[in-house]
Amino acid sequence: MADTAIPQLNPPRRILMGPGPSDTHPRVLAALGAPTVGHLDPYFLQVMNETQSMLRQVFRTQNPLTLAVSGTGSAGMETCVVNLIEPGDKMVVCVNGVFGGRMADVAARAGAHVTTTEQLFGEVFSPEQISDVVHRVKPKVVGIVHAETSTGALQPLPEISKIVHEAGALLLVDTVTSLGGTAVEVDAWGLDAVYSGTQKCLSCPPGLAPVTFSPRAIAAIEARKTKVASWYLDMTLVRNYWGQDRAYHHTAPINMNYALHQALAIALEEGLEARFARHLRNHLALKAGLAALGLSYAVKEGQQLPMLNAVLIPAGVDDLKVRQQLLRDFGIEIGGGLGPMKGKTWRIGLMGETSSPRNVLLLLAALERCLGDQGAKFAAGAGVAAANEFYRQNA
């Protein structure tokens, strides 16, 4: 080994204003670095119980089967799909962005007969469209994305949930980007299988996937004729590990669970309603500032995510140059477009800890510099002034 230099770790301090991960609270970083205990240690069992209880509060559910899957948000998607779907089952997947498309792929691999219903990227689904497809297909499961991270659109769910249940199907929902940043009402809306990630509005590093399953979903799992295709994600095994039995399944990521525990505590200390209001307020302030710089949203008014601002890149402005300058000169990360939005949009995240007046003003100030360097025209200081004026009027 003597001839190879051994790399050292020395990460830079960024401000994470992309589509996730978001900034991490120092208390969460401290929790990550707390002493590792065994995964069957009485203390860790307590951490698991408390995490489940806090996740139920954040998901607004009484579902006993609520826990953190030992993988990232995409593993949460796969968990929900493979537990509900047996080979040959019919599933409708609503595709209006990259993550809906991914869900269709995951479902097909699980052996589902997948019917996709589509919308333009950036648009949302109407209850009528869902009604048409569920009555035509009569699926076992309907999958939909609440907050499409690839497009910045927020999908209303209550009416769709009613339609899906009246048709006898289960509703599977992606809340990766919405959970902790805007209302997610698992019980009130009647959602059956819901997954999220830790690195968006919960402001914990990526690595775990909160999931929750309704009694209806559990009945479907218990009625399966075949084993779940994935041993690792099989909820009939995982729930015995997180439940009273503590039956050994896999070794949970101890320190990642510490971090989620702490991040959930921070969210509950703030209070969910206050947290949602904060996300909305900073979103609106950023929006006022971006408008003053001549930037408009890629998503219709009324359907825009409060935690992820998808804006159109102005004509003549170089996507990559702006993002590179933001990162190099200011240590600020924003996201580019995904899929068909690549090169057309920026995705500016105001998620969890990142959502603050400080970051809104900083981003507007830095963006003015970068856009100005690209020859964009606006009144000097217009972005910051507009955001400050918004905050002043909405103090």
- Residue 347 in the binding site for a second copy (CB under 8 A): no
Tell me the C-alpha to C-alpha distance, in Å, between residue 87 and each of 105, 114, 154, 227, 231: 14, 11, 31, 10, 16
**Toward a second copy, which CB reaches closer, 110 or 133?**
110
- Residue 363 in the binding site for a second copy (CB under 8 A): no
| 385 Cβ contact list (under 8 Å, min separation 6) | 292
Tell me which of 167, 254, 291, 382 binds a second copy, using CB under 8 A. 254
Site string for a second copy, 125-164 (x = CB under 8 A): ----------------------------------------
Q: What angle do CA 199, 343, 197 make, to 5 degrees?
A: 15
Work out how close the CB of 315 gets to a second copy at its nearest, in angstroms, rounded to a whole number: 25
SS3 call for 143: strand
- Residue 8 in the binding site for a second copy (CB under 8 A): yes
Work out how close the CB of 135 gets to a second copy at its nearest, in angstroms, rounded to a whole number: 29
How far apart (Å, rounded) are the C-alpha atoms in residues 192 and 171? 5
Work out how close the CB of 336 gets to a second copy at its nearest, in angstroms, rounded to a whole number: 9
- Residue 394 in the binding site for a second copy (CB under 8 A): no
Work out how close the CB of 381 gets to a second copy at its nearest, in angstroms, rounded to a whole number: 28
| Number of residues near a second copy (by CB under 8 A) | 81
Structure tokens, 284: 């609106």
Work out how close the CB of 84 gets to a second copy at its nearest, in angstroms, rounded to a whole number: 15
SS3 call for 156: coil
How far apart (Å, rounded) are the C-alpha atoms in residues 259 and 210? 13
**Toward a second copy, which CB reaches closer, 258 or 276?**
258
- Binding to a second copy (CB under 8 A): which residues in 203-242? 205-207, 227-232
SS3 call for 95: strand
Site string for a second copy, 35-64 (x = CB under 8 A): xxxxx-xxxx--x--x--xx--x-------
**Toward a second copy, which CB reaches closer, 84 or 163?**
84
Work out how close the CB of 197 gets to a second copy at its nearest, in angstroms, rounded to a whole number: 7
- Residue 34 in the binding site for a second copy (CB under 8 A): yes
Across the beta sheet with 141-145, what order do the strands follow? 66-69, 209-213, 193-195, 170-174, 141-145, 90-95, 113-118
Q: Point out which span in 6-14, 129-137, 152-160, 185-193 binds a second copy (CB under 8 A).
A: 6-14
Which amino acid, 183?
A: A
Work out how close the CB of 48 gets to a second copy at its nearest, in angstroms, rounded to a whole number: 11
- Residue 110 in the binding site for a second copy (CB under 8 A): yes
| 254 Cβ contact list (under 8 Å, min separation 6) | 36, 37, 38, 39, 44
Work out how close the CB of 145 gets to a second copy at its nearest, in angstroms, rounded to a whole number: 15
- Residue 14 in the binding site for a second copy (CB under 8 A): yes
CA-based nearest residue to 157, from 138, 172, 139, 140: 172
Give me the phi and psi of 191, to 5 degrees please: -80, 140
